Amino acid sequence: MTSEVDVLVLDGESRAALAVVRSLGQKNLNIWVCTHQTLALASSSKFAGKTLACPEPNKDPERYKSWLLETVGKFKPRMLLPIVDTSLRLVLESASSLPKETILPFIDLSVFNKINDKASLLNAARRLGLDVPETLVFKTSDLDSSEVRGKLNAFPFPAVVKPLSSKIFLDNQFVSPPVLYPNTVQELTSLVDSERLNSNVTYLLQQKITGAGTGVFAVFKDGKLLANFAHRRLLEKPPTGGVSVLSESTAPNSAPIEQAMNLLKHFSWHGVAMVEFKQHLDGKFYLLEINPRFWGSLQLAIDSGRDFPGILWDALSGDSNVAIVGHEPYKVGQRLRWSLGTLDHAIALVRENPPQAVKSILARNTLALASQWSHTRSEVFRLSDPKPFFVEFWHWLLCLVKR
């Protein structure tokens, strides 16, 4: 019996989920969206079919897994697409209990665990010849060790302190410990003394790489490359580094595509991935992490001619007579702007230094508002599908009131 649900998209509150729904909706597929929000971006798209309510995976992972098994078992979608790290982890942990006919186009749990541990990933990348930031793994209790103190005194500050994994399981839920930026050993010690670092979390102290963020996107089928794409971040939220709010597609020869593909092939990749680098002032690209799922700037790739959700569906759905378009040149110089993210970026600048922020925004065009109009598209607002923008704006206003 053929399922009435072609694709079940999880995490409908995310912008990547919206990009997936819009992409696959062009193929006239029946797409259902799951979300823990009352009103969500992807479910408000005209391409979304039914919306299913679900528990919040970060706050109640066990209840989410029970819901997942019941829902997927009942509707048996042809393909299941988790969009964020936590739901992907919970799907992979539940994979053996999900219907065999439902396609899970991702790496398996063992590979996920290897790349989710950033120290393990960086060690593997170093052995393959990739440049990686100098890194020290520690817990707050380690700072009392004379050996660790000696390593800290020789460490190249300024640095970044981040958790070993983006999501940490603490007190029966998944949390995201903050990323911090100590400029000296003394500032790191102060973070520990002020208890801004959790004693139960393992951290990475990492050399701070100053430069533009670069992402290499790819989709594989059983270790075989189907398509790739490269972009750079022009603006981020927060301004010190984070998610992209303005990005631009770049030529393959100006990005570390070969390094990224070698790394993914090392793990016999299956499904989509975003390999994240930063280009340092010395011109080298330093690996930061691999995201084994759809990413925040997915819509940029689609706008540039690399429709990763469509390629993934065509390659793995079993539909016959489908040509996979993945190796033709894509549009270089295409830009994508997350409008409300840009506004948040500007607000952060103004809060830090109002006179300087106003001067740089108006006189130096730091938000790139007065350039590349013909090559820039809005990530969320589309005339052909406007409702998601108003849903996002409503949520943004609610968050603004709560700040």
* Mean pLDDT of the region 50-70: 98
pLDDT at residue 149 greater than cutoff 70: yes
Share of the chain above pLDDT 90, in %: 81
| pLDDT given at position 360 | 73
Task: Give the right CATH number for 209-403 from 1.10.3720.10, 3.30.470.20, 3.40.50.150, 1.10.1060.10.
Answer: 3.30.470.20
Minimum mean pLDDT among 10-14, 60-64, 189-193, 299-303: which range? Answer: 189-193
| pLDDT given at position 371 | 64
7-104 topology per CATH: Rossmann fold (3.40.50)
| pLDDT given at position 214 | 96
- Please report which confidence band the pLDDT of residue 52 belongs to, taking 50, 70 and 90 as the band edges: very high
* Mean pLDDT of the region 253-272: 97
With 0-12 / 13-18 / 19 or more C-beta atoms within 10 angstroms meaning exposed / middle / buried, residue 106 is: buried
| pLDDT given at position 356 | 80
pLDDT at residue 352 greater than cutoff 60: yes
User: What angle do the packed helices 185-193 and 146-153 form, to 10 degrees?
Assistant: 130
pLDDT at residue 17 greater than cutoff 60: yes
Please state the separation of Cα 212 from the chain's center in Å.
16
Mean pLDDT of the chain: 93
- Please report which confidence band the pLDDT of residue 144 belongs to, taking 50, 70 and 90 as the band edges: confident
| pLDDT given at position 50 | 97
Q: What is the pLDDT of residues 100-113, one digit of tens each?
A: 999 999 999 999 99
pLDDT at residue 295 greater than cutoff 80: yes
Minimum mean pLDDT among 64-78, 296-310, 364-378: which range? Answer: 364-378
Mapping DSSP onto H, E and C, the string for the chain reads CCCCCCEEECCCCCHHHHHHHHHHHCCCCCEEEEECCCCCCHHHCCCCCCEEECCCCCCCHHHHHHHHHHHHHHHCCCEEECCCHHHHHHHHHCHHHCCCCCECCCCCHHHHHHHHCHHHHHHHHHHCCCECCCEEEECHHHHHCHHHHHHHHCCCCCEEEEECCCCEEECCEEECCCCECCCCHHHHHHHHHCCCCCCCCCEEEEECCCCCEEEEEEEEECCEEEEEEEEEEEEEECCCCCEEEEEEECCHHHCCHHHHHHHHHHCCCCEEEEEEEEECCCCCEEEEEEECCCCCCHHHHHHCCCCHHHHHHHHHCCCCCCCCCCCCCCCCCCEEECHHHHHHHHHHHHHHCHHHHHHHHHHCCCCCCCCCHHHEEECCCCCCCCHHHHHHHHHHHHHHHHC
- Please report which confidence band the pLDDT of residue 325 belongs to, taking 50, 70 and 90 as the band edges: low
> Would you list the domain boundaries of the chain?
7-104, 134-207, 209-403
Q: Which tops the pLDDT comparison, 344 or 307? A: 307
pLDDT at residue 241 greater than cutoff 90: no
CATH number of the structural domain 134-207: 3.30.1490.20
* Mean pLDDT of the region 1-15: 90
Of 69, 70, 32, the residue nearest 49 (C-alpha): 32
pLDDT at residue 56 greater than cutoff 90: yes
| pLDDT given at position 365 | 64
| pLDDT given at position 348 | 86
* Mean pLDDT of the region 311-319: 88
pLDDT at residue 263 greater than cutoff 80: yes
pLDDT at residue 373 greater than cutoff 80: no
The Cα angle at residue 13 between residues 326 and 118, in degrees rounded to 5 = 65
